[in-house]
């Protein structure tokens, strides 16, 4: 049974998942499952799943990223020809058109480019308060993530942050960022 998932993959892979697994794309861009459509799912199972973070939609194009997370690395996709960086991963370089895409291992440092504190509606899979941040990595690309280990009212644009990989439940680890006071911000 598919759980609620979200996808980092390219458009083709996303549409494939929607077609194959009875998923749909909600107005926020997340790939969600429709209501239970068979008798094998109990109400208790659905309620338990709702308390877990959304599962990533892992495809051939994004597997390198999630394998990196399990090894404690933040891998950022890089075109082998023009060396442009991409996140989320893409299937093909939009600049030079090649499919030969590799990755670099980020040093896990950057600054907060933008952030928001989601308040409503409250979802059981998140612990409130929490901060969603767009982090500009020192390598030159940006990553949508969570800012942790700091009160929301202490977060600011330009704040230097560093990578920390957090286990949100026994089956899911996610890259997050926490303040790095020793680093120089851009403000
Ligand atoms: Zn390229």
DSSP state letters, 110-123 = EEEEEEE---SS--
Q: Is 90 exceeded by the pLDDT of residue 3?
A: no
Contact 25, 33 (CB under 8 A): no
Find the 86 Cα to ligand 1 centroid distance in Å: 10
Give the rounded percent of residues in the chain with a pLDDT score beyond 90: 66
Find the 89 Cα to ligand 1 centroid distance in Å: 13
Q: How far is 66 from 172, CA to CA, in rounded Å?
A: 10
Find the 73 Cα to ligand 1 centroid distance in Å: 23
DSSP state letters, the chain = ----EEE-S-HHHHHHHHHHHTEEE-TTS-EEE-S--STT--HHHHHHHHTSPPEEE--TTTHHHHHHHHTT--EEEEETTT--EESS--SS-TTT----EEEEE--SEEEEEEEE---SS--TTSPSS-EEEEEEETTS-EEEEEE-SS-GGG--TT-EEEEEEEEEETTEEEEEEEE-TTS----
Find the 7 Cα to ligand 1 centroid distance in Å: 22
Find the 69 Cα to ligand 1 centroid distance in Å: 24
Q: How far is 59 from 61, CA to CA, in rounded Å?
A: 5
Q: Is 60 exceeded by the pLDDT of residue 163?
A: yes
Find the 94 Cα to ligand 1 centroid distance in Å: 7
Find the 5 Cα to ligand 1 centroid distance in Å: 29
Contact 178, 150 (CB under 8 A): yes
Q: Among residues 182, 107, 180, which one has the least CA distance to residue 147?
A: 180
Find the 68 Cα to ligand 1 centroid distance in Å: 22
Query: Could you list which residues have their CB under 5 Å from ion ligand 1?
Result: 79, 81-82, 93, 95-96
Q: How far is 159 from 152, CA to CA, in rounded Å?
A: 12
Find the 91 Cα to ligand 1 centroid distance in Å: 11
Q: Among residues 119, 158, 144, which one has the least CA distance to residue 56?
A: 144
* Confidence class for position 50, pLDDT limits 50, 70, 90: confident
Find the 85 Cα to ligand 1 centroid distance in Å: 9
Find the 80 Cα to ligand 1 centroid distance in Å: 7
Contact 129, 152 (CB under 8 A): yes
Predicted structure pTM score: 0.73
* Confidence class for position 44, pLDDT limits 50, 70, 90: low
Q: Is 50 exceeded by the pLDDT of residue 7?
A: no
Find the 18 Cα to ligand 1 centroid distance in Å: 28
Sheet holding 85-86, edge to edge: 85-86, 75-79, 101-105
- Among 1.10.287, 2.40.50, 3.40.1130, 3.30.930, name the CATH number for the domain at 109-179: 2.40.50
> What is the residue extent of each domain of the chain?
1-59, 65-105, 109-179
Cis previous bond, 69, omega within 30: no
pLDDT on residue 39: 47
């Amino acid at each position: 049974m598919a759980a609620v998932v979200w996808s980092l993959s390219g458009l083709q892979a996303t549409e494939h998942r929607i077609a194959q697994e009875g998923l749909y794309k909600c107005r926020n861009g997340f790939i969600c499952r429709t209501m239970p459509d068979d008798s094998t799912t109990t109400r208790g199972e659905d309620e338990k799943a709702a308390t877990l973070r959304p599962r990533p939609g892992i495809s051939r194009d994004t597997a390198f990223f999630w394998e990196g997370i399990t090894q404690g690395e933040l891998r950022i996709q890089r075109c082998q020809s023009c060396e442009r960086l991409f996140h989320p991963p893409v299937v093909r370089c939009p600049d030079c058109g090649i499919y030969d895409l590799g990755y670099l291992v980020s040093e896990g440092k950057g600054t907060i480019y933008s952030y928001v504190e989601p308040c409503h509606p409250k979802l059981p899979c998140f612990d409130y308060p929490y901060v969603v941040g767009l982090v500009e990595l020192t390598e030159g690309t940006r990553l949508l993530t969570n800012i942790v280990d700091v009160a929301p009212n202490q977060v600011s644009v330009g704040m230097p942050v560093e990578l920390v990989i957090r286990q949100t439940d026994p089956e899911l680890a996610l890259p997050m960022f926490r303040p790095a006071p020793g680093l120089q911000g851009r403000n």
